[in-house]
Amino acid sequence: MDIPDPGTWPSTVAEAEAVQDRLRPLVVREGELPAPLRTVAGLDVSYGPDDRLAAAVVVLDADTLAPVDRATRVGRAAFGYVPGLFAFRELPALLGALADLRTTPDVLLCDGYGLAHPRRFGLACHLGVLTGLPTIGIAKTPFVGRYEEPGRRRGDWAPLTDGGEVVGRVLRTRDGVRPVYVSVGHRLGLDAACALALRLTPAYRLPETTRRADRLSRDVLAGV
DNA sequence: GCGACAG
DNA sequence: ATCTTGTCGC
């Protein structure tokens, strides 16, 4: 798919935060799922020694969840790990992988947060603004915000709030398993984001998109 | 000031 | 993220 040239990447914390502040106003915090929804893409990155990394994108048929496209990119981490600036670490490689895709996915599912971020501009928002595509963030552990424990059944959820505003949702994707943390990335509202998260978790806690991308990035890093 | 802190 | 054995359960 076509990916616009992001230009140069920041090298300091101050520069990176300035980039987030500059792009944040471009985030569209609402929207319905595209109809018909044809394809969904999952993105993930695996790390190896010496800052080596492998980014992977897997595109699935939204109905059958069968893989229809994939792309990978190996490289080095472009930024140190700083909570809140996580996106700068993986974005270059993820964009590179996306550029190699034959198709343009209808929605991008990111590993991490969107609006549930100290400056309301997590990886999912960043990726959404740069690609122009609808995105959502699904994280495995809490980062910002407070919440009550949701019910234990699949579909149960509780609002994730921070600074007096709802920034996401703690969602139980399977009965009796730890919940995931869903937040809006770009062009999709929270209801749509959670509906998609449930649709992609027919068997496991994490979305099929994320699981496929995770395994692919791992395999690539291992040289498979 | 101190601890916590997506992956 | 990654480093790692065994173990409980379907």
Distance, angstroms, CA A95 to C1' B3? 34
Q: Give the CA-trace dihedral at A141, A41, A107, A124, to 10 degrees.
A: 40
Q: Measured between alpha carbons, how far is A55 from A93 in angstroms, rounded to an integer?
A: 6
Q: What is the pLDDT of residues A155-209, one digit of tens each?
A: 999 999 999 999 999 999 999 999 999 999 999 999 999 999 999 999 999 999 9
Taking only the tens place, the pLDDT of each residue in A132-158 is 999 999 999 999 999 999 999 999 999
State which protein residues have CB closer than 7 Å to strand B. Answer: A 44-45, 47, 81, 83-87, 111-113, 117, 122-124, 137, 139-143
Average pLDDT score over residue span A120-126: 98
Average pLDDT over residues A93-101: 98
> How is domain A13-221 classified at the CATH fold level?
archaeoglobus fulgidus dsm 4304 fold (3.30.2170)
| A44 assigned ligand-binding residue | yes
User: Which residue from A127, A50, A129 is spatially nearest to A96, judged by alpha carbons?
Assistant: A127
